[in-house]
Structure 1
Amino acid sequence: CLSNKQRKPKTAILPQYIIIVYKLSSATELRLMVVGSSGPSQFLLTNAILGRQEFPKDVTSISGSMKSTGELAGRRVVVINAPNIYDKDISQAKRKMELRRSKCLSIPGPHAFLVAFDMEDISLNDFNTARLMKERFGRQCLRHSMVLLAYEGNLEEAALEDRVRKIDWYLRELIEKYSGRFHIFRKNWRDRSKERELLQKIEWMVASSAGAYFSSTTFQKAEDSVMKEEKRLRKQKAAEIEKAWDEMEKQYVEEDLFFQKDAYTANISAEIRAKAEIDNSWVRTSLARGLGTGFFVGAVLGALVGSIEGPGGMVLYGLIGGAVGGSGGGTAQHAIV
């Protein structure tokens, strides 16, 4: 159990994080950032939200960020997945790049962060997830967050909620970090009995924030980078688009021509947007900086070890250390922003 000192909230507000409020109508798609501490929970949750097997049941981690679209109880949703917070199989630089990419995939910002845990397998790392989320997404992101507990068994919903609220203290401690908001979902995505309830909880949480989606300076930076990349790609494709329009003008007239041009423009715009979200200067810079820092740190450590064997050893071990540090992606960096 966490001590009172550990549970005491910090009062300092970091100036670089802001919240921007926009009204959300029922016709607007919901952008959901699904976050996982470790293991398969976030991927099982994505399957449960979309009602299809987006991820195989045995997937416990992914190396890159993904964006999926579908419907939850008739409401259009966009689900963004990034690597698990405690995934040990990717480097610090890769993790930083995918964090930035996940922000680009969710611009202008997610309406909700859904933080997935396994109800039967809560670890000490899970209790640190809220702190890491504030560091990586922004201090106020927990106001837009809800705990999703994966469950596989035969207990009824009332008994499960009693476990969370009254019986299992560690579950109660966990959800308190997210203002007590939680939902229990079945690991079997084919069970759609609670999808309406889940949607209502998400919509209520969004409504409690005045219909806002979450944003911060880094989400704004992500949006700016995507828009800049879109502009670059459009300029790159200008000749191709003009040629396609010329061909259409030879084949179609009046309403048919308008329809064909409109459909072509929509497809090209969607293609450009998808490419810009996945790869842009902000995403690329994060990896380059991570590799550069790793190379520098590794080279310094290698040179220190090599100095024992003289000048030749300094050069040899410095090169080896730089290579190892570069491949490790800059593990000396602590903050991910």
Structure 2
Amino acid sequence: MSASASQSELRLVVLGRPGAGKKSAVCNILGLQDSQQDADAASGIQECSKHRGEAARRQVVVVSSPAWFGSDCDPKERRRHISSFITLSSPGPHAFLLCVPVNQPADEEAKALDVLEELFGSSAVSRNTIVLFTHTEELEEDEQLEEYLVTWRKDLLELVKRCGDRYHTLETRSREPEERKAVEELLEKVEQVVRESGTQHFSCPLYQDAEERVRERQEEIVRQRRGNQLNSQASPPDSPPEENVTEEEMEAVREEAERSTDGLNVDIDSIFPSSSVLPSSPAPSFLGGLWEKLTAWMRWLLTLVRMEALLGSLVGLFVGGPLGGMMGATVGSVATEVGKRKTLEKKEKKER
């Protein structure tokens, strides 16, 4: 891959917990079929993947990485995954896309942002990360994502705030052309990130080290191939081995170099100590940790029960006893039915 080609393409790194929708995000961006990403999943292999294609009249490279930021990830696997996605997205991504399910607590994603800051510096999050919301089908039919975030999910809004108030979703309730429009809007936001950062792409010492190693390995592969060709010829050509290499050949060499580059010197011990507690988060007490988990799950629970069930629960709580339970159930059922009728009325009005 030539320097000009590297500068003209948009490089994206997709991160997220298991089941966060990374695979769907990659497929949506590049217009891939799910079967084109099923090979590793079918074999049970969890590896970083790199896909190149065209989207919204742009050349795009998407690197997807397993969830290496979780506390249950094996340290050796974590080091390998981090080294791999850095190398595959070298010389540096234009944006990190953090897939965030709207139907889950945001504690794992908050940890992911902490780790990105520790690895690459605070600007990686504040300037170069976009929250990509997934599983939006869990929202009510007439509920907008913005309304849902403001009303129910202050924890998700905090993630967005940390990422410079940048967020997006590729999920629409209709097919083409809305899906492709969502992709185009995402890439426009990525280009806006690049303009605001004032640099060609994100860079830091880890990425600079990765690019240097890839280039050295790339030159080594070219010399080996040209040396083999010289040995098979009766007389050497006039040009040196490094010349007369086509762009397609260099792209193939680049990919081979990325796959075969040795692991980077990533210091994960200071970021992931044996206690699995991130340095940016002080060790909580037992009750403090329990309360934090409880409040996170309560926020998630509210997205499931919504106002109808909540109203019935409150009635049962304040009245108390068997009578309160009966009244709460009745109020909750009535409120739910009223909500359904309102939704049906809105739908009928739209159809008219």
Q: Give the alignment's TM-score, normalised by structure 1.
A: 0.65
Q: Alpha carbons of 1:209 and 1:123: their partners in 2 closer, same or farther (altered >3 Å)?
A: closer
Which secondary structure state, in structure 2, belongs to the residue aligned with residue 281 of structure 1? coil
Q: Does 1:33 align with 2:16?
A: no
Q: Which amino acid aligns with 2:225?
A: K
**Deviations 1:99-124 (CA, angstroms, capped at 9, x unpaired):** 11211111111111111111122342
Alpha-carbon distance in 1 for matches of 2:75, 2:172: 30
Say if 1:151 and 1:90 are closer, same or farther in 2 by CA, change over 3 A.
Answer: closer
> Quick one: which amino acid aligns to residue 67 of structure 2?
N
Structure possessing the higher relative contact order (Cα contacts under 8 Å, 6 or more residues apart): 1
Structure 1 residue aligned with 2:251, among 255, 267, 270?
270
Q: Is the 8 A contact 1:45 1:187 kept in 2?
A: no
- Shift in CA distance, 57/223, structure 1 to aligned 2, threshold 3 Å: closer
Quickly say closer, same or farther: Cα 1:84–1:46, change in 2 above 3 A: same
Say whether the 8 Å CA contact 1:118–1:149 is kept in structure 2.
yes
1:119 is aligned to 2:107:
no
1:213 aligned onto 2:201: yes
Q: Which residue of structure 1 aligns with residue 135 of structure 2?
A: 151
The one-letter code of the counterpart of 2:78 is R
CA gap 1:87/1:212 in 2 versus in 1, 3 angstroms = same
Q: How does 1:67-86 map to 2 (within 5 A)?
A: 67-86=50-69
Partner of residue 168, structure 1 = 153
1:310 alignment partner in structure 2: none
Post-superposition Cα deviations, 1:185-217, rounded to whole Å, max 9, x if no partner, equal 218997324122212111112211125311111
- Runs of 5+ consecutive residues of structure 1 not aligned to the other structure: 1-23, 250-260, 294-329
Letter in 2 for 1:231: E
2:201 match: secondary structure: coil
Structure 1: distance between partners of 2:146 and 2:233: 59
1:28-51 per-residue CA deviation (whole Å, 9 max, x = no partner) reads 110111111332422221111111
The aligned length equals 259
Q: CA distance change for structure 1 residues 57 and 170 in 2, over 3 Å: closer, same or farther?
A: farther
Q: Give 1:130 shift.
A: 0.9
| Cα distance per residue 1:317-337 (max 9 Å; x no partner) | xxxxxxxxxxxxx969999xx
SS of 1:33's equivalent in the other structure is strand
2:22 maps to what in 1?
A: 42
Q: Is the 2:15–2:98 contact (alpha carbons within 8 Å) kept by the matching residues of 1?
A: yes
Partner Cα separation in structure 1 for residue 45 and residue 69 of structure 2: 12
1:226 matches 2:250 = no
Larger Rg: 1 or 2? 2
Deviation of 1:80 (Å): 0.9
* Kept after mapping to 1: 8 A contact 2:11/2:92: yes
Matched residues in 2 for 1:234 and 1:111: separation?
28
Partner of 2:335: none
- Write the letter of the residue equivalent to 1:208: E
CA distance in 2, matches of 1:333, 1:277: 30
- Mapped to 1, the partners of 2:250 and 2:40 lie a distance apart of 35
Comparing 177-186 with 233-242, which one deviates more in the overlay?
233-242
Q: Cα deviations across residues 248-303 of structure 1 (Å, max 9, x unaligned)?
A: x9xxxxxxxxxxx95x64343222211111122345x77xx99xx9xxxxxxxxxx
Cα offset, 1:158, TM superposition: 7.3
**Counterpart for residue 55 of structure 1:** 37
**CA displacement at 1:155 relative to structure 2:** 5.4
Q: Are residue 184 (structure 1) and residue 169 (structure 2) matched? A: yes
SS at match of 1:38: coil
What is the distance in 2 between the residues matched to 1:76 and 1:104? Answer: 19
Q: Does 1:235 align with 2:218?
A: no
Residue type of the alignment partner of 1:180: D
Give the superposed CA RMSD: 3.9
What is the Cα deviation at residue 177 of structure 1? 1.6
Change in 2 beyond 3 A, CA 1:78/1:208: same
Contact 2:52–2:59 (CA under 8 A) maintained in structure 1: yes
Distance in 2 separating the partners of 1:281 and 1:207: 33
**Alignment-derived partner of residue 315 in structure 2:** none
Cα distance, 1:237–1:332 mapped onto 2, change above 3 Å: farther
Give the alignment's TM-score, normalised by structure 2: 0.62
The 1:267/1:192 distance shift into structure 2, 3 A limit, reads closer
Q: Which residue of structure 2 lines up, in the alignment, with residue 202 of structure 1?
A: 190
CA distance in 1, matches of 2:8, 2:29: 17
- CA distance 1:211–1:166, change in 2 (3 Å): farther
